[in-house]
Structure 1
Amino acid sequence: MFYIFFLIFFFTLPLFSQPSFENGYVVFKFFAPEANSVAIAGDFNGWRKDDLLTKDDNGNWYGKFKIKPGLYQYKFIVDGRWMLDPANPVKVENFNKTDFNSVFVLSYDWKILLQSEPDAKPNPEDIYPKTNRIYLNIIWHQHQPSYLDPEKDQLQGPWVRTHGTKDYYDMASMLENYPDIHVTINLTSSLLYQLDEYYVKRLKPYFDPKRNRIDTKRYFKDGVKIDPWIDLMLKDSEEFTDFELGYVYKNSWNCFSVSEVVMSRFPEYEQLKNKDPKHYTPEDIRKIKFFFYLANFDPDFLNGKVKLANGFEVDITDIIQKKGDKYYLKREITEDDCNRIVAETYKILSAIVPIHKKLMYDPVKKTGQIEVITTPFYHPILPLIYDTDIAKICQPMDNLPERFSYPEDADAQVKKSIAYYQKIFGRKPLGMWPAEGAVAEQIISVFVRNGIKWIATDEKVLARSKPENQPFYYPYSVDEDTVYGNKDEAKSLLIVFRDTRLSDAIGFTYQNYEPEVAADDFIRYVLSFAPENPFEERLITVILDGENAWEWYRKDEDGKAFLNALYRKLSKLHKNGQIITVTLSEWIYGNPMRGVKAHKITSHQELEPLWPGSWINANFDTWIGEEEENLAWEYLSKVRKDVEKLKIQRPNPFLDLPKSGTKEYFEYKAWESLYSAEGSDWFWWYGKDQTALGGDEPFDVGFRTHLINVYKFLQKAGYNVNVPEFLLKSILK
C-alpha cells in the first residue's frame, strides 16, 4: 500500500514542489500515509536521524527548520529506510561517493533554488555588505596513522612522505603571504614521529647538498630502512624483482595510488596506468615510480623555484612543464632523476617543522600566525580507550564488544603526545584536537590534569549536550567537577564546536566549484552569522583535514586557488574589522595588537554533561558497533589483558628510549606496539561504513602486525609468551 501512495506522490510533483520557504522557515513535506515515522536528516541539522516530521490527517508529513542561506544536502528516513526527496529532481553524490543525496540552495534573498551549485557569485573586488565583527577559528588537521612495522623497523606506507611534499609544507608556508590571517594547525604526534625519525633523520646522513643527490651506495650498504618506495627510487629499475614490482603496480598500495583527479593532470602517468602491465618496459617502470613522487608534489614545486624555510631551494622545472592544466615531462627520465627526486623530497620534508616554528604563534609575545596543537599520540578514540561502555549512551541500540576500559592508557596517550610536542617545539601545547573530535564527560579530567586548556569537536555533539541545542557560534566551558556550576579555572577546559556545514563544504562540496565562487560562498555564509549587537562576540569554528580534500578539487589544482582566494578575501575583511581570524590561545589570553580581548574559560556557558560522540554522527559508530569493528576491539582487549597479567612496567613517556637490546627496551617496544594498535585508523576501515581507495586489507594487516609485535617484543624481553593464533587470521569478512 505504501508504494501505491508513493507512486501517486511521485506523479503529482508539481503540487508538492519542495522544499519551500515560508515565514522564515524552510519547510519540507513528504506524502506517506502508511508510514509509521518519517524523519529528515541533512546538513542543516547535523544529519540527525531523530528529527521526526509531523503527520496530518491526509497522510502528509511536515517539518520546518530555521537555517542560514547556503547549499544543503538531505534525505528522508521513512520507517528506517533512507530515501531521496521524490519532489526534488536535483541530487548529488554523497560525501563517501557511495550514494546520492537530494540538494537545494537557500539563496541570500531567501529563495529556494533547486540546484547543486552555491548561490554565491564571484566578487573579484571582494565587496560585501557591512556587518558587525565576527571571529573565525580555522583549524587544519594534519594526521597520518603509524605505518611502522617495529620488527622490520620500516614504514609500510608512503603517505607521510606523499602528504609531506604535497600538503604539510605549503599549508603553512602560504600564510606568509597573508600576515593578517591566523589559523591553527594540528600536527599529530604519530605524523611528526614518522616524519622526523624516519624521513628526516634517516635520509640526512646520505643527502649531499652540493650534488643534490642521495649517496645510494652508502644508503644500501648501511641497510637503511625508511619506506619501500624510497628503496624503489634508489634502485635501478632494470634490477627489479617481483618483490619490487609489487610496490610499483601489484600491491594494494602501489605507484598508482593517487586520486583520479590528480592522475588526470599527468596524461603520461595516466597512459601508463591504462597500459597492460605485461607490456611494461624498464623505461615505463622508471617513469611510473618517478610520477608517483611527482604527482605528490605541491603545484608550487612543479611550477617554479621555491625557497624553503630551512634555506634549501627546490626547482624541478628542468624536468616538468605545464601546458594548460596538464603536466608533461620535458625529457626521458633517468635513474639519476629518480635519485634527485628523493633529494628534493628530503629538502621539503626537512623544512616542514621549521616552517611551523617560523610562523608559530607565541601567546606570551603575541607574535606569529599559527597555533600548533596536537592529538593524543597514536590518534586513539580516547573515550573508547577510557571505557568502551561509554558508547552505550550514544549508541543504545548497537551491539558492543566486551568492555575495554583502560583510563591509564588514555592518560598515557595524552602524556606521550605532550612530551613529544615539547621535544619538537620546545614548549607544551595549549590545545588538543581529540582524534576524530571524539569527546565525553569522562575524559575531561585527562586533558585538564595534563595542562590542556582547550579542545574541539563537532556541533552535533553540542546539540545533544546539556543544556541542549545551544548555538554553535559561542565557545563553552567543561570541567572535571561533577557538580554543575562549580567553576574553577584550573579544572576547566574551553571547548568549541565546528560548523558542520562550512567544514564539510570545504572538504566535500567546494571540490566541484570554481575557486572564487567557493571562497565567496564561504565568506557570505560566515558574514550571515555576524551579530546585530556590536558588543556581542561570536566565534565560528571550521575544522577539517588539511590534506585529503585538495586532491579531489576538480576545478582547482590542489585547492590552491580556493585557499588563496579565501585568505585574500579574509585579509580585506580583517582590515574592515568584519571577520577576525583568531586562534584559541588568542581568544583565551587575548591579543590587544589585533583587538582580541582575553576570555576566562569559566566566563563561558558551562556544559554538563558533555555528550559522548565524535564529528561523525555525534557517536562512535564508525569505530565500534559493527561486526568487524567489535572483533577488532576483542583482539585488542585480549592482547591488553595478556600485557596486564605480566605486570610489565609502563614506560615513562618523559624519558628517552631505553638502551637498545635491553629488557627495558623490548618492554618499551611492546608498549609502543600496543599503543599503536589503540589508534583510531584501524577501526575506521573495519565494517561497511568506510572503504579505503586501495582496499581495507593493508589496514587490517597493520593492526594485527602491531598486536603480533607486542608478543614478539615480549619474547625478546624474556617473557614466555606465544603469538595467539587468532591474530594470524584476517578480521575482514
Structure 2
Amino acid sequence: MLYIFLFLFLAPPLLSQPRFENGYVVFQLYAPDAKSVVVAGDFNGWRTDDFLTKDETGIWSKKFKVKPGVYQYKFIVDGKWMLDPANPVKVENFNRTDFNSIFVLSYDWKILLQSEPDAKPNPQDIYPKTNRIYLNIIWHQHQPSYLDPEKDELQGPWVRTHGTKDYYDMASLLEKYPNVHVTINLTSSLLYQLSEYYVKRLKPYFDPKKNRIDAERYFKDNVKVDPWIDLMLKDSKNFTEYELGYIYKNPWNCFSVSEVVIDRFPEYKALKQKDPAKYTVDDLRKIKFFFYLSNFDPDFLNGKVKLANGFEVDLTDLVQKKDGKYYLKKEITEDDCNRIVAETYKILSAVIPVHKKLMYDPVKRTGQIEVITTPFYHPILPLIYDTDIAKLPQPNDKLPERFSYPEDADAQIKKSIAYYQKIFGQKPLGMWPAEGSVSEQVVSLFVRNGIRWIATDEKVLARSKPENQPFYYPYFVDEDTIYGKKDETKSLLIVFRDTKLSDAIGFTYQNYEPEIAADDFIRYVLSFAPEDSTDERLITVILDGENAWEWYRKDEDGKVFLNALYRKLSKLYDEGQVITVTMSEWIYGNPKRGIKPHKITSHAELEPLWAGSWINANFDTWIGEDEENLAWEYLLKVRRDIEKLKVPRPNPASDLPKLETRRYFEYRAWESLYAAEGSDWFWWYGKDQNALGGDEPFDVGFRTHLINVYKFLQNAGYKIEIPKFLFSPILRDKKDQP
C-alpha cells in the first residue's frame, strides 16, 4: 500500500485527526491511488458501506454526527482494514486479535486522542445550568419459556433467580426517588412462569407462621415447579445421580453464576474449586444453599426488607458481610434450605404487587412506573411475519426457505395484551418489540391492537427515511404507509434507543467506580440539552434490567450506581434540567410535572421505517447463519404440518381449557408452536452468541417445544408421527433434515 507511506510523509498538518468541526466528527485519509475508502467504527455500527469522498488532492473525507464517548474505528482501503495513520492511539480490538484506532469525544465537544473515557466523580451533584431535556428510561425484563409442557415443569431456574435478585428491587428502589419516572417492560413469557408456576404452585405449601414450605405435602402432591426447588426441599443425603446433575454436572447447575458474583461468596467459590469426587453431604447442602443465596438482592442479605405484599425478608441471621464479601454465620441445615424456598416464594409473590403499587396511571397522572410488555413469547416479529424481510438489511446472507405467517405475529401480540390485561386490569399502551425488531409490515399489527408506541434502536432510525434524523426526538409511522398522511388513530409513535448510553450501562460502567459511572451518565445526557428552551428533546435508554448488574465488579449488583443515578436525576428534576418521563406522560401529558401532551402525528414522520433490530440494525443474530437457518427450517416444517392438518387455531385471548378434551390438546399444540417462535432459541444458534452454561440447553428447549406440538396433536387424535430430525441436535452436523 504505497499510499499509506505517502500519507505519512506528504499529508498536510490539517490531517491530524479525527477533528470536530461545526457539530461533526470529520475523518480524512490521504490515499490518492485508492479506489475506495470506508471508515467503520462504534459511531456507525461498524458499517462497511460508509464510503469517504475523494477530492482533487487525493484526500478522502467524511463527517459524522457523533455523541460524546469513547470510539474505536478503522479504515477499509480497497477492501483491506487499516489503522488511522494520523492517530497514534490504538487499543486491542474486542476479540483481542488485532488493534483499532480510538478517540474520545468529550462532553465539551473536544476530540481527545486517548483510550480512557472523559469521566470524573461528582458526589456533590453539581452540574452547569442547562435548558430542560427529557429522559426516557426503559428497563427490559425478560426470560424465555423454560416450560416443558409434557413434564409440566420449568427446565431452567432463571425466572426465579432474577426474580429474587432483580425483578423486585428494580421496581421497589424507585420508591425512594418519587420524582424519577421509568418504564419497565415485563414480557408475558416471564410473567406467566412467575405467576403460574412459582407463585400459584408454591402458595398452597407456604406456611407464613413457620416461614417454611410443607415439603412432605409438596412431594406427596407431586408438585412441579423447577428441579432446583425439589433440590432444596429434598434431604441432601438422599441425592441420586439425577440430583447431582443439577448440583454440578448439567450445563445449568448450582454453580451457574457469574465469576463476579461467586467472588463475593468465598466459601461458595471454594466449593466450586473443590474436586467433586470429594464432596460431602454437607458440601452438597451448602452448594444448593449458596446457589439461592447468591441470587438474592444485596438488600435481603444486609437487613430487613418489608415487601409490597406485606411479607418481610431478613437473612442477616444466616449471612454476614466482611470486607465486601459474604460469609455464613452458621452451619447450614436442611431446615435452612427449606426456609430459603419460603423466602423465595415471598419475594416472587411480591414482584407483581410492587409494580402495581408504583404503576403509572395516565388518567389520574399518579405513579412512577409505566409497565409495558412484549409479544407473548418474545418473537422476532418481522421474521415471523416474513423471513424474507431479512433480505433488506442482510442482502449478502443466505436465508432459509421463506417462513411467513402474519397471523402468528398478530396472535403473539393479542396473547400478550390479553395476559397483561388479566394481570394489571388494563391494556398496555406501549410495547418493546422483542430485541427492538421492527419493519413496516408489523406496524399495522401494533396499531390495530391498540398499541400507541413502540421502541427500537437509533441505528434503525439512521437507515429509515429520511436518513440520519436526530435520535433525541420521537417519530411516527403510519399504518397505511402513505407518506404525508396523518391519522392519529392509525399511527404509531416510535422512540429510538440511544445506543451509546444504553450500552454504557450494560457493558462499560461495570468496570467504573459507581459514582463516576453515574456522573458520566448525567454529563452525557446534559451534553444534549438544547440551546433553545422551546426545543423538547427526549433521550431514550433501553437495556436489560437484570443481566448487567451481575457483572458490576466495583459495585455489588449495580446498587450504588442506581442509587447515585436516581439521586442525581432527582436533584436535576428539582432544578428543571432533566425530567424523567414515561411515554404515556409524553403522549397524554402530565401537568403535575410540567409535561405537555404530544399528539403522535405532531412528530416528524418516517417513511419507510427500516427493517432491523437493536443489534446492527438487521436480524443477523437470529437468521443467516447455518444453524439459525436450519432452526427456521425445522420451525417451518412443524408449522406446515399443523396447517396441513387444519388444526383449529384457538382465540389468542382465551385461556387454556380446563378439561383434557381434544380442544385442550389442540390449544397446547398451538402454544408449543408459539413458544418455538420465540427469539431466544435462534439467539444462541450460530457463532455470534455463547451462553454461560453452553448453548445446548437452548437447543434442547427449542426442539422440545417442536416435539411437543406433535405429542399434543397425537393426544388430540391426529394421525401424525414426530419427525426424526427433531431428535438430532442443531448444534452439530445433521443428516436428517426437513
TM bucket, shorter chain: over 0.9
The answer to whether residue 571 in structure 2 is matched with residue 572 in structure 1 is yes
Alignment of 1:655-666 (within 5 A): 655-666=654-665
2:604 aligns to what SS in structure 1?
Answer: coil
Mapped partners of 1:494, 1:97: distance in 2: 41
Alignment of 1:572-721 (within 5 A): 572-721=571-720
The AA in structure 2 aligned to 1:365 is K
The answer to whether residue 258 in structure 2 is matched with residue 259 in structure 1 is yes
The answer to whether residue 558 in structure 2 is matched with residue 525 in structure 1 is no
The AA in structure 1 aligned to 2:681 is W
The answer to whether the Cα contact below 8 Å between 1:18 and 1:88 also exists between their aligned partners in 2 is: no
The AA in structure 1 aligned to 2:499 is T
Mapped partners of 1:12, 1:712: distance in 2: 73
Partner residue, 1:129: 128
Per-residue deviation, 1:115: 3.9
Deviations 1:274-332 (A, max 9, x none): 11111111111111111111111111111111000000000000111111111111121
Q: Which runs of 5+ in 1 are unaligned?
A: none
Mapped partners of 2:32, 2:237: distance in 1: 70
Per-residue deviation, 1:473: 0.8
Partner residue, 2:142: 143
Partner residue, 1:273: 272
1:58/1:325 CA distance change after superposition, 3 Å: farther
1:291 aligns to what SS in structure 2?
Answer: helix
The answer to whether the Cα contact below 8 Å between 1:43 and 1:500 also exists between their aligned partners in 2 is: no
The answer to whether the Cα contact below 8 Å between 1:41 and 1:75 also exists between their aligned partners in 2 is: yes
2:330 aligns to what SS in structure 1?
Answer: coil
1:354/1:511 CA distance change after superposition, 3 Å: same
1:258 aligns to what SS in structure 2?
Answer: coil
Mapped partners of 2:696, 2:559: distance in 1: 33
Alignment of 1:527-546 (within 5 A): 527-546=526-545
The answer to whether residue 317 in structure 2 is matched with residue 337 in structure 1 is no
The AA in structure 1 aligned to 2:373 is T
Q: Which runs of 5+ in 2 are unaligned?
A: 733-738
Partner residue, 1:410: 409
Per-residue deviation, 1:8: 9.4
The AA in structure 1 aligned to 2:70 is L
Partner residue, 1:350: 349
The answer to whether the Cα contact below 8 Å between 1:267 and 1:326 also exists between their aligned partners in 2 is: yes
Per-residue deviation, 1:348: 0.5
Structure 1, 157-166 or 73-82: larger mean CA deviation: 73-82
Partner residue, 1:309: 308
1:351 aligns to what SS in structure 2?
Answer: helix
The answer to whether the Cα contact below 8 Å between 1:478 and 1:608 also exists between their aligned partners in 2 is: yes
Mapped partners of 2:226, 2:159: distance in 1: 10
Mapped partners of 2:537, 2:595: distance in 1: 12
Per-residue deviation, 1:46: 3.6
Alignment of 1:428-443 (within 5 A): 428-443=427-442
1:130/1:272 CA distance change after superposition, 3 Å: same
Deviations 1:637-661 (A, max 9, x none): 0000000011111111222211232
The AA in structure 2 aligned to 1:617 is N
The answer to whether the Cα contact below 8 Å between 2:89 and 2:103 also exists between their aligned partners in 1 is: no
Mapped partners of 2:722, 2:211: distance in 1: 45
The AA in structure 2 aligned to 1:560 is K
Per-residue deviation, 1:357: 0.1
Per-residue deviation, 1:108: 2.9
Mapped partners of 2:97, 2:216: distance in 1: 47
Structure 1, 276-285 or 714-723: larger mean CA deviation: 276-285
Partner residue, 1:327: 326
The answer to whether the Cα contact below 8 Å between 2:90 and 2:99 also exists between their aligned partners in 1 is: no
The AA in structure 1 aligned to 2:105 is L
2:399 aligns to what SS in structure 1?
Answer: coil
Partner residue, 2:181: 182
Mapped partners of 2:641, 2:695: distance in 1: 27
The answer to whether residue 360 in structure 2 is matched with residue 361 in structure 1 is yes
Per-residue deviation, 1:528: 1.1
Mapped partners of 2:424, 2:529: distance in 1: 36
The answer to whether the Cα contact below 8 Å between 2:89 and 2:114 also exists between their aligned partners in 1 is: no
Mapped partners of 1:242, 1:34: distance in 2: 68
The answer to whether residue 475 in structure 2 is matched with residue 482 in structure 1 is no
The AA in structure 1 aligned to 2:331 is E
The AA in structure 1 aligned to 2:48 is K
Identity of aligned residues (%): 81
Per-residue deviation, 1:439: 0.4
Per-residue deviation, 1:20: 4.3
Mapped partners of 2:381, 2:9: distance in 1: 50
Structure 1, 173-182 or 61-70: larger mean CA deviation: 61-70
The answer to whether the Cα contact below 8 Å between 1:92 and 1:103 also exists between their aligned partners in 2 is: no
Deviations 1:104-148 (A, max 9, x none): 322234443344432122111111111111111000000000000
1:515/1:213 CA distance change after superposition, 3 Å: same
The AA in structure 2 aligned to 1:380 is P
1:240/1:490 CA distance change after superposition, 3 Å: same
Mapped partners of 1:229, 1:97: distance in 2: 37
The AA in structure 1 aligned to 2:452 is K
The answer to whether the Cα contact below 8 Å between 1:173 and 1:355 also exists between their aligned partners in 2 is: yes
Partner residue, 1:465: 464
Mapped partners of 2:643, 2:341: distance in 1: 43
1:317/1:464 CA distance change after superposition, 3 Å: same
The AA in structure 1 aligned to 2:143 is Q
Deviations 1:51-96 (A, max 9, x none): 22345788765443342332233344455566665744442664x8
Per-residue deviation, 1:17: 6.5
Structure 1, 389-398 or 358-367: larger mean CA deviation: 389-398
The AA in structure 2 aligned to 1:377 is F
Partner residue, 1:91: 91
Mapped partners of 2:578, 2:161: distance in 1: 34
Mapped partners of 1:318, 1:99: distance in 2: 51
Mapped partners of 2:667, 2:98: distance in 1: 45
Mapped partners of 1:232, 1:366: distance in 2: 46
Mapped partners of 1:262, 1:337: distance in 2: 21
Mapped partners of 1:269, 1:80: distance in 2: 50
Partner residue, 1:119: 118
1:24/1:189 CA distance change after superposition, 3 Å: closer
Mapped partners of 2:80, 2:632: distance in 1: 29
1:272/1:34 CA distance change after superposition, 3 Å: farther
The answer to whether the Cα contact below 8 Å between 1:421 and 1:429 also exists between their aligned partners in 2 is: yes
The answer to whether the Cα contact below 8 Å between 1:401 and 1:630 also exists between their aligned partners in 2 is: yes
Alignment of 1:106-255 (within 5 A): 106-255=105-254
Alignment of 1:496-535 (within 5 A): 496-535=495-534
1:97/1:370 CA distance change after superposition, 3 Å: farther
Mapped partners of 1:437, 1:227: distance in 2: 30
Mapped partners of 1:637, 1:346: distance in 2: 39
The answer to whether the Cα contact below 8 Å between 2:108 and 2:527 also exists between their aligned partners in 1 is: no
The AA in structure 2 aligned to 1:486 is K
Per-residue deviation, 1:559: 0.8
The answer to whether the Cα contact below 8 Å between 1:46 and 1:459 also exists between their aligned partners in 2 is: no
Mapped partners of 2:508, 2:312: distance in 1: 35
Partner residue, 2:735: none
The answer to whether the Cα contact below 8 Å between 2:11 and 2:30 also exists between their aligned partners in 1 is: no
Mapped partners of 1:153, 1:601: distance in 2: 44
The AA in structure 2 aligned to 1:72 is Y
Per-residue deviation, 1:599: 0.8
Mapped partners of 1:507, 1:209: distance in 2: 38
The answer to whether the Cα contact below 8 Å between 1:411 and 1:446 also exists between their aligned partners in 2 is: yes
Per-residue deviation, 1:240: 1.0
